Amino acid sequence: MKYIQIEKEGPPNVLKIKTKSIPDPGSNEVLIRVAAAGVNRPDVMQRKGLYPPPPGATNIPGLEISGTIVSVGRNVNKQLIDSEVCALVNCGGYAEYCLASLPLCLPVPKKLTLIEASGLPETFFTVWSNVFEKGQLKKGDSFLVHGGSSGIGTTAIQLAKAFGATVFTTAGTKNKCEFCKTIGADISINYHKEDFFEKINKITDGNGVNLILDIVGGSYIPKNINLLAKDGKLVQIALMQGNKFEVNFLDLLLKRITLICSTLRPQSIKQKSKIAKSLQKNVWPLLDNGIIRPIIHKIFPLEQAEQAHKLMESSKHIGKILLQNNID
């Protein structure tokens, strides 16, 4: 099979197309002929040597895929062969074939193509588990998601709006802000032009928001804390601007703030399978009915993984970037 190898830590040009033997599924695994794989920020970090795969996992990047099950492990029902699925994986998505744990495979929603479905697992697992399970967002709450035009952001906006929240978001250009409004954001703030803290504080009459999902970190952290309402929650899932910044914990104490920090990949299959079941019950019907959808910015062939990473790092995209395999 063809796959993408990280030849060494470095810039996008270290991603090279190679060939190797097709792997055999373990007892509770399935082998998927990959139609497409999603490109995510953790892939970029892995390429740079900043986010190594779990012990024993392949170093092939790629955390989410869609495709067709072509073989199964001894504990898996053979009737699943030829099923079309999307799956969350620890690594290995940038390839023509990829192993996946059966509990982390989900059916392709009725309104989506097999290719589009590859843009679901990483962002939907992340947003659902952090915003709705850990953050407990509910109807009538106010919610701020930073980086609204990212894969995480476009997913969070749609889900929060679908479940009845008032949605605030930040983005870096006028066009991105306008797009965020088309998918459900009530207020979209260009962080190059306006201070999100001042604007949201004014709109909410100083009451702040109930929940914040942040991928930025750095200088955003104290602003986020000050912007939260009493009993509010800050969910930190990435630190693109930096992992160190001075915070006055008295602010958290006085407002009874809950700080939640979370990454998805290191969690056990058992933990992630619970998320998968909850997604299929609560979110997949919305996808089946076309109420929400993954926002796909561009699809590259697998061989152009370097170009896909360059686009990811440019931050000029809105939504998901995918790598597609040629399927006979």
Looking at the structure, tell me whether residues 283 and 310 fall in a common domain: yes
Last residue of a domain, one of 236, 261, 286: 261
CATH number at residue 37: 3.90.180.10
Question: So what's the pLDDT on residue 327?
Answer: 60
Is the pLDDT at 248 greater than 90, yes or no?
no
Looking at the structure, tell me whether residues 111 and 217 fall in a common domain: no
Spatial distance between the Cα atoms of 202 and 207, rounded to a whole number of angstroms: 9
pLDDT-derived band at 237, boundaries 50, 70, 90: very high
How is residue 70 written in tokens? Answer: 């072509």
Residue 3: strand pairing partners:
18, 95
Looking at the structure, tell me whether residues 204 and 105 fall in a common domain: no
How is residue 159 written in tokens? Answer: 């889900």
Which DSSP symbol is given to 305?
H
Is the pLDDT at 64 greater than 60, yes or no?
yes
Q: What global pTM score does this model have?
A: 0.95
* Percent above pLDDT 70 for the chain: 99
Looking at the structure, tell me whether residues 236 and 158 fall in a common domain: yes
Question: So what's the pLDDT on residue 55?
Answer: 87
Side chain identity at residue 119, one-letter code: G
Where do runs of H (alpha helix) occur along the chain? 41-47, 121-127, 151-162, 174-182, 196-203, 220-227, 249-255, 269-282, 284-288, 305-314
How is residue 129 written in tokens? Answer: 């588990």
pLDDT-derived band at 54, boundaries 50, 70, 90: confident
Is the pLDDT at 328 greater than 60, yes or no?
no
Residue (of 30, 90, 86, 87) closest to 61 by Cα position? 90
Question: So what's the pLDDT on residue 278?
Answer: 98
Q: What is the pLDDT of residues 131-178, one digit of tens each?
A: 999 999 999 999 999 999 999 999 999 999 999 999 999 999 999 999
Looking at the structure, tell me whether residues 179 and 301 fall in a common domain: no
CA dihedral (63, 148, 223, 203) positive or negative: negative
Residue (of 29, 94, 34, 100) closest to 60 by Cα position? 94
Looking at the structure, tell me whether residues 128 and 170 fall in a common domain: yes
Is the backbone of residue 256 left (phi > 0), alpha (psi -120 to 50) or beta? left
Mean pLDDT estimate for the chain: 96
* Percent above pLDDT 90 for the chain: 92
Last residue of a domain, one of 208, 227, 261: 261
Looking at the structure, tell me whether residues 133 and 250 fall in a common domain: yes
CATH number at residue 128: 3.40.50.720
Last residue of a domain, one of 215, 233, 261: 261
Domain that holds residue 319: 2-120+265-324
The number of CA neighbours under 13 Å toward the Cβ of 257 is 27
Looking at the structure, tell me whether residues 239 and 288 fall in a common domain: no
Looking at the structure, tell me whether residues 278 and 245 fall in a common domain: no
Q: What is the pLDDT of residues 250-288, one digit of tens each?
A: 989 999 999 999 999 999 999 999 999 999 999 999 999
Spatial distance between the Cα atoms of 39 and 306, rounded to a whole number of angstroms: 11
Looking at the structure, tell me whether residues 212 and 110 fall in a common domain: no
Q: What is the pLDDT of residues 96-143, one digit of tens each?
A: 999 999 999 999 999 999 999 999 999 999 999 999 999 999 999 999
Is the pLDDT at 242 greater than 80, yes or no?
yes
Looking at the structure, tell me whether residues 98 and 168 fall in a common domain: no
Looking at the structure, tell me whether residues 256 and 141 fall in a common domain: yes
Q: How many domains does the chain have?
A: 2
Is the backbone of residue 77 left (phi > 0), alpha (psi -120 to 50) or beta? beta
Give 114's contacts (C-beta < 8 A, 6+ positions apart): 35, 36, 66, 67, 68, 84, 108
